[in-house]
């Protein structure tokens, strides 16, 4: 036998030397759930280890994470039902708690990278990412106005990256133009490029109480059966001025990550979503899977597939383990 691949696996030193993919805490972006008020921490039942936090506690959490080498955060507000309406107006009201909190966070941690989410669902009585008409249709072009106002309000807080997760057509260009027209040409856009109509968002919708009140998201989020359609979305986002292309979910869509990595030069992000997190946590709690090794293997697979950025609820845990 001339070829024996096992020779390159014979010791830790050699295995480390030939290791092709290595995770870094700098790859991670940590999604955080923001509560209105003070000194509040409420566990997300379907996401063991994850809490919704008021801004004072979130500042502490960000500080802890930055000491672990995590510098990027994606912040999602939990909006009380009484603040929701048909047009998600609170999403761009500068006095609303989440925009104030974002300002506070950027003030305290100017060197942190803060991303914000653009979609109507957390602020809308319909729980959809766009405006819903009387027949239950999601109106594309009318929604752009709200999304644009939301993006601008978020940019005004100092947010570094705007993350449109709504999947309306043309929103990247629409948001890019509004940002540029208002002097925010340095604010980046991480587009949710290939966002699938997935069952894996359930725990996130629990955390924010943002599930659609009727219907589903299949007329705007992509069909899980489609791969080539991701190319169309990616071409559009690139033309429209996106700085990052995101694939979401991650684990069940590694082929999509790889496809975009092979065909586009923009950095690819993978969103390791709430359901993927919950799945491992549930199995680990039962003792059916080893949390730490399975977690690292999952994260590694996303990077190996071609993701440069990994949005993950495991960020803090993984960083502690990598220390
Ligand atoms: C809002 C949004 C969702 C997620 C991120 N932004 C939910 C959805 O589209 O229904 C899901 C994130 C996760 O599951 O971790 N549009």
Using alpha carbons, select from 78, 66, 59, 67 the residue that is nearest to residue 29. 66
Q: Is there a domain that residue 13 lies in?
A: no
Q: How far is CA 73 from CA 102, 103, 144, 161, in A?
A: 11, 14, 25, 10
Q: How far is the CA of 305 from the centre of ligand 1 (A)?
A: 22
For ligand 1, which residues put their CB under 6 angstroms from it?
117, 119, 121, 129, 165, 201, 204-205, 273-274
How many domains does the chain contain in total?
Answer: 1
Q: Is there a domain that residue 1 lies in?
A: no
Q: What is the mean pLDDT of residues 248-262?
A: 98
Q: Is there a domain that residue 95 lies in?
A: yes
DSSP 116-129: EEE-SGGGBTT--S
Q: Is there a domain that residue 14 lies in?
A: no
Query: Which residue has the least CA distance to atom 14 on ligand 1?
Result: 201
| Chain-centre distance for alpha carbon 78 | 15
Domain at 154, CATH number? 3.20.20.70
Mutate to test the pocket of ligand 1, among 151, 192, 204 (most ligand atoms within 8 A of CB): 204
Q: How far is the CA of 150 from the centre of ligand 1 (A)?
A: 16
Give the range of the structural domain holding residue 244, as residue numbers without chain letter. Answer: 22-322
Which H helix or E strand runs over 275? helix 274-285
pLDDT tens, residue by residue, 192-216: 999 999 999 999 999 999 999 999 9
Query: Which residue has the least CA distance to atom 6 on ligand 1?
Result: 165
pLDDT tens, residue by residue, 130-143: 999 999 999 999 99
Structure tokens at 288: 């059916």
What pLDDT is attached to residue 10?
98
Q: Is there a domain that residue 16 lies in?
A: no
What pLDDT is attached to residue 56?
98
| Chain-centre distance for alpha carbon 283 | 23
Q: Is there a domain that residue 4 lies in?
A: no
ipTM over 0.90: yes
Please give the model's pTM, rounded to 2 decimal places. 0.97
Q: How far is the CA of 250 from the centre of ligand 1 (A)?
A: 13
Q: Is there a domain that residue 253 lies in?
A: yes
Mutate to test the pocket of ligand 1, among 29, 116, 119, 315 (most ligand atoms within 8 A of CB): 119
What pLDDT is attached to residue 93?
98
pLDDT tens, residue by residue, 40-65: 999 999 999 999 999 999 999 999 99
Give the nearest ligand 1 atom to 211 CA: 10
Query: Which residue has the least CA distance to atom 8 on ligand 1?
Result: 201
Give the catalytic positions in this structure: 195, 248
DSSP 156-216: HTT-SEEEE-S--TTHHHHHHHHHHHTT-TT-EEEEEEEEB--GGGHHHHHHHT---SSS-
* Eight-class DSSP state of 85: B
Q: How far is the CA of 147 from the centre of ligand 1 (A)?
A: 15
Mutate to test the pocket of ligand 1, among 201, 278, 298 (most ligand atoms within 8 A of CB): 201
pLDDT tens, residue by residue, 215-224: 999 999 999 9
Q: What is the mean pLDDT of residues 154-176?
A: 98
Q: Is there a domain that residue 154 lies in?
A: yes
At 16, the pLDDT band (50, 70, 90 cuts) reads very high
At 282, the pLDDT band (50, 70, 90 cuts) reads very high
């Amino acid at each position: 036998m001339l070829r024996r691949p096992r020779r390159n696996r014979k010791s830790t030193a050699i295995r480390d030397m030939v290791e092709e993919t290595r995770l870094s805490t700098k790859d991670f972006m940590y999604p955080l759930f923001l509560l209105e008020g003070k000194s509040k921490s409420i566990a997300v039942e379907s996401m063991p280890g994850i809490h919704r936090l008021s801004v004072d506690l979130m500042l502490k959490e960000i500080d802890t994470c930055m000491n672990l080498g995590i510098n990027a955060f994606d912040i999602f507000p939990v909006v009380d039902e009484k603040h929701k309406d048909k047009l998600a107006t609170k999403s761009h009201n500068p006095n609303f708690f989440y925009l104030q909190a974002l300002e506070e966070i950027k003030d305290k941690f100017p060197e942190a990278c803060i991303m914000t989410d653009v979609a109507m669902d957390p602020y809308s009585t319909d729980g959809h990412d766009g405006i819903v008409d009387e027949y239950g249709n999601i109106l594309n072009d009318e929604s752009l106005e709200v999304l644009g106002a939301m993006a601008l309000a978020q940019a005004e807080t100092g947010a570094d990256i705007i993350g449109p997760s709504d999947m309306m057509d043309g929103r990247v260009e629409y948001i890019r133009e509004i940002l540029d027209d208002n002097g925010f040409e340095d604010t980046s856009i991480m587009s949710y490029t290939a966002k699938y109509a997935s069952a894996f968002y359930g725990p996130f919708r629990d955390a924010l109480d943002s599930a659609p009140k009727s219907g589903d998201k299949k007329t705007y989020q992509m069909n899980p059966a489609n791969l080539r359609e991701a190319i169309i979305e990616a071409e559009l986002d690139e033309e429209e001025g996106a700085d990052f292309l995101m694939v979401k979910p991650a684990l069940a869509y590694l082929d999509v990550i790889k496809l975009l990595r092979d065909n586009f030069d923009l950095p690819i992000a993978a969103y390791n979503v709430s359901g993927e997190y919950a799945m491992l946590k549930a199995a680990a709690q039962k003792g059916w899977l080893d949390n730490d090794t399975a977690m690292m293997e999952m994260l590694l697979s996303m990077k190996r597939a071609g993701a440069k950025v990994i949005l993950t609820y495991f960020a803090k845990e993984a960083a502690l383990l990598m220390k």
